[in-house]
Amino acid sequence: MEPEPRWRLLADENLHGGIVRGVLRRLPDVDFQRVQDAGLRGASDPAILAWAAQAQRVVVSHDVATLADAAFDRIATGLRQPGVFLINARVPLGEAIDSLVLVLECSTPAEWASRVTYLPLR
């Protein structure tokens, strides 16, 4: 039996596929699922966040506007949220991948619980 992956991520529908592929190329044992593959295509931000919380997945998205607001609302009301990483769509692809890989290699999922974090870290 294989050990559980250390990181369980959920790529929002709008996340550039190159980020998912780039992370998996460098960290193949990361469990990085896409919203589309989870049957959540077109789902509302609150529904995606609720599903991610139930599935214990950190959400990764380019949606720095509405998803961020929904995540802040969820956290403020005390609902469990494994975390959210937001990457502005204008960040170059390589920098976005490097930033996410750095976080995944140098921390644990528990460190990001109930947090909304903008990448790259500054």
Dihedral sign for Cα atoms in the order 34, 83, 93, 29: negative
- Give this prediction's pTM: 0.94
Label residue 105 by pLDDT band (50, 70, 90): very high
Q: Give the residue among 59, 48, 49, 54 at the shortest CA–CA distance from 7.
A: 59
Q: For position 1, what pLDDT does the model report? A: 57
pLDDT digits (tens, 9 = 90+) for 70-91: 999 999 999 999 999 999 999 9
Residues 37-58: b if buried by 16+ CB within 10 A, e if exposed: ebebeebebbebbbbbbeeebb
Average pLDDT over residues 35-47: 95
Q: Domain residues of the chain, as ranges?
A: 8-111
Question: Under CATH, which number does the domain 8-111 receive?
Answer: 3.40.1400
The pair phi, psi for residue 20, each rounded to 5°, is: -60, -50
